[in-house]
Amino acid sequence: MGSKFGTGSLNIVMTLLLCLILLLSMAPKLKAELTTVEHPLNSDGSISFLVVGDWGRRGLYNQSQVALQMGRIGEKLDINFVVSTGDNIYDSGMKSIDDPAFQLSFSNIYTSPSLQKPWYLVLGNHDYRGDVEAQLSPMLRSMDSRWICMRSFIVNTEIAELFFVDTTPFVDDYFLSPKGQTYDWGGVSPRESYIQTVLTDLEMGLRESRANWKIVVGHHTIKSASIHGNTKELESLLLPILEANNVDLYVNGHDHCLQHISTSQSPIQFLTSGGGSKAWRGYYNWTTTPEDMKFFYDGQGFMSVKITRTEMGIVFYDVSGNILHKWDTSKTSYTAFDVPL
């Protein structure tokens, strides 16, 4: 039996299909809901920044000494910005916009010329013990123009995108057994909906990213040998999204130490920079796969990251500015071959 469609009908069908494909290719792609901050590259196409966490103690516990060395290394590297992994104000965040802790723990401490660059900050669990909206308020930026703090957001440098994730609401214990602490959950409730929105927006942002390097920054650990250990909620909810979207680094604070973990089960490098002030916990527990622990230092310090389109280098420093650990990697720039539909 012959086809009931003639040549003319087939041509019409093919034309309609081609039109449909063309329309789909022209349709606007869904954009991530996360706020994006654009940060320009250096003239040579590179970007460099420092990472510090768990620092806001009015200069005490060697915070001022760490800040001094950050200034010196920042000048040497000619950094573009600073990343904070949270716990920006101890012990219980800010009481209000007018809390002097902001000046005493931030503006009066990080005074080196090289540190007068944007600071991109996430919130830690100690920040949630105070007035969260105070830390998020644009009024702080009017007091100190460096301060750029949001719950979750993206910093786009073209060759690298940094995805900042608000991890505190993920942790069950803060809700189920807060141990006498009061947390400011305004803007988070209902919690399940908030977490799902963060994960959805992050996944969308990572999937849409055309940057050659993807870095995720959060306060809480995914993997750690120090006193807080692995955060099970992030292992189950966040880590699969990172692995599915070719994330290169997960950078966190929370544990007051410096560490670099690289496992055979994951392509992600897990980096802790939580040595901005109080440290020396005297705790280490990483026995099942000792080869995965590339570096651990139970003391104060910070780290630097330098990125070009095809190369990345990280360095950890102690409170005296001594280099403790280096790690470098490279990859082919796929953006040149990434042809959109």
Strand pairing partners for 83?
51, 120
Residue 25 Cα distances to 19, 247, 336, angstroms: 10, 26, 19
The reply, when asked if residue 328 is annotated as ligand binding, is no
- How would you class 190 by CB atoms within 10 Å of its CB: exposed for 0-12, middle for 13-18, buried for 19 or more? exposed
Token representation of residue 33: 């809901």
The reply, when asked if residue 54 is annotated as ligand binding, is yes
- How would you class 243 by CB atoms within 10 Å of its CB: exposed for 0-12, middle for 13-18, buried for 19 or more? middle
The reply, when asked if residue 125 is annotated as ligand binding, is yes
The reply, when asked if residue 325 is annotated as ligand binding, is no
- CA 136 – CA 216 distance, rounded (Å): 20
The reply, when asked if residue 219 is annotated as ligand binding, is yes
Catalytic residue list:
228
Token representation of residue 153: 């957001």
Strand pairing partners for 38?
156
Q: Annotated binding site for Fe cation, which residues?
A: 54, 87, 90, 125, 219, 254, 256
Binding residues are: 54, 87, 90, 125, 219, 254, 256
